[in-house]
Amino acid sequence: MIKTQKYLLMVTLMVAFTFTALAQSTINSPYSKFGLGNLTGTYMPQNKGMGNLSAAVSYFGGYSNINSNNPASYSKIRLTTFDIGVGSNIQTLKKGSDSENSFNAMLKHLVIAVPVNKKSAVSFGLIPYSNFGYTFTTPGKVEDIDVDYFYRGEGGVSKAYLGYGFGLGKNLNLGFNMSYLFGSLKEARSAQYQNVASFFNSRTENRNGIGGLTLDLGLQYIAALSSKTSLTIGYNTSLKSSLNTNTTNSTFTYITNISTGDEFKIDTISSVLDREGKINLPASHTLGISLMKENKWLIGADFRMSNWSNYRINGNNPNLNNTWGVSVGGVIVPNINAVTNYLKLMDYRFGVNYDKSYVKINNNEIDVKSINVGLGLPLVSNRSAFYKINVSGEIGTRGTLDNNLIKENFYNISLGFTINDRWFQKYKYD
C-alpha cells in the first residue's frame, strides 16, 4: 500500500507539471500559422528513432514500450510502464540570403500503462498534438506612408488520453484511445508607422481556446513465421471529430515610445469576447507492416493519410491540403544477453520520414523530410524493475526557397526515460 501511494503521488505531481510544461512549449515556424499549427504526431523517442514507425510496432528488446499511436499495442504490455520525455529543437530559417537561428527545449510527454491481465492493458498520459509559434515582419505602404506589419503567434494543442488494448484470439489485437484535445492559439497582427505623428499604430489580437473529445482505434495482426520471427500488420485511425472553440478578438490603436519601446493604448476599435464556435477535424488513417526477429531486429514501413481539405473552423474553409506520409525504419540489438559488453546490449535505431503537410503557398506544397537515428540505453536493473534511456535525433527540412518562400532546417533531439516495474500489485510485505 505504501509503495502504491508513493507511485500515485509521483504520478500526480508529474501530470500537473506536464500540463504546465506542454502549455508553455514554443517554436518559431512561419508554416505553423496555418490550421492548428505544425502537427507533431504522438510518437515516443523509441518510434522517432525509427523514422516515426509505429502502426505495426508493439514490443521489442525485452521491454514493455508505450506506443500511443496504435492503442492495439497495449495488449503486449506485461509490466507497469512509465515513460517521461523531453525534447529540444535547433532551427535555421532561410529566405534568400537571410537566415535566422532559434533554439527551444520543452517537456514532451508523460505516459503510463498498467496491465489488466496477460492479454490487455490500459494506458493514459499527456502528449503534444501540434505546435504553434511564429514571428515575422513584412513591409508595406498606406497612402504612400511606409508601414511595417508584424505577425506573431504562440501556443499549441495538447492531447490527454485514456486507452485500452486487448488480445482477441491468438493473433489479433485491438485497442482504442479516448482523447481530449485542448490548447490555445494566440495571434497578433500589428501595423506600425515610423515617425508619422498623424498615424496611430494598430494591432489586432486573437485568442482561440480549443477543447474537445476524439476517438482513435487500432488493430494489429501478428503472425508467427517461425519460433522467433513474426510478421505484424497494423492499422490505426482517428475518427472525424468536432472540437469546441472560444474566441476573443480585439483591435486597438496605440503609440510607441521610440526611446524605451513602451506601448500606450489609445483606443479600442472593436472587441468580441467569448464567441463560441466549432472546429471540424478530418479522419486520419495509418497502415503499417513490420518483420521482427525477437530480441534481435525489427524492420518496417508505415503509410498515412488524412483529408485535411475537410477541415473547418467556425464553418469557414481555410483551404488546407490533404496530407500523406511515409516512414521506413527499424532497430537492431546485437546481443541482448551480452552482459559483459554494453555496446552489444544497446538498441540501434534508424529511419527516414516524409510528410506532405496541409500547407500550400503560391502553388508550392510544403513538405517535411527527415533522417532519424536513435539509441536505447539499458540501465542497471533489479529483480522487478527495468530501466532504459531512449535517445533519438532527427535532421530534416520543411518548406522550400522557391518563389521567395522560407526553408526550415531543423535538428530535433528527444530523450525519454522508461521504467518497467510491478507497480500497483499487491505485496505480501510493505
* 258 vs 301: CA distance, rounded Å: 56
Rounded CA separation 330/408 (Å):
26
The maximal CA–CA distance of the chain, rounded, in angstroms, is: 83
Question: How far is the CA of 363 from the CAs of 149, 319, 321, 325, 403, in angstroms?
Answer: 24, 12, 11, 19, 9
| Nearest-angstrom CA–CA distance, 213 and 177 | 10
**pLDDT at res. 240:** 96
pLDDT of residue 428: 47
Domain coordinates in residue numbering, the chain: 29-421
pLDDT for 70: 97
Distance of alpha carbon 429 from alpha carbon 68, whole angstroms: 34
Q: What is the pLDDT of residue 425?
A: 53
Do 218 and 176 contact (CB within 8 A), yes or no? yes
**What pLDDT shows up at residue 87?**
92
Q: How far apart are CA 236 and CA 246, in angstroms?
A: 30
Which has the closest alpha carbon to 280: 245, 311, 317, 305?
311
CA gap 395, 176 in Å, rounded: 32
Q: How far apart are CA 262 and CA 178, in angstroms?
A: 46
Q: Whole-prediction pTM value?
A: 0.88
In the chain, what is the straight-line distance between the N-terminal and C-terminal CA atoms, in Å?
Answer: 7
* Contact in structure between 164 and 120 (CB atoms under 8 Å): yes
pLDDT, tens digit only, all 430 positions of the chain: 444 444 444 554 455 444 454 545 567 889 999 999 999 888 999 999 999 999 999 988 778 899 999 999 999 999 999 999 999 999 999 988 888 888 888 888 999 999 999 999 999 999 999 999 998 888 887 777 788 889 999 999 999 999 999 999 999 999 999 999 999 999 999 988 876 666 788 899 999 999 999 999 999 999 999 999 999 999 999 999 999 999 999 998 887 776 676 777 888 888 888 889 999 999 999 999 999 999 999 999 999 999 999 999 988 999 999 999 999 999 999 998 888 899 999 999 999 999 999 999 988 899 999 999 999 999 877 767 889 999 999 999 999 988 888 999 999 999 999 999 887 655 444 4
Taking the C-alpha atoms of residue 204 and residue 292, their distance in angstroms, rounded to an integer, is 54
Class of domain 29-421: mainly beta
Q: Are 270 and 281 in contact (CB under 8 A)?
A: no
What the block records as the C-alpha cell of 49 is: 528513432
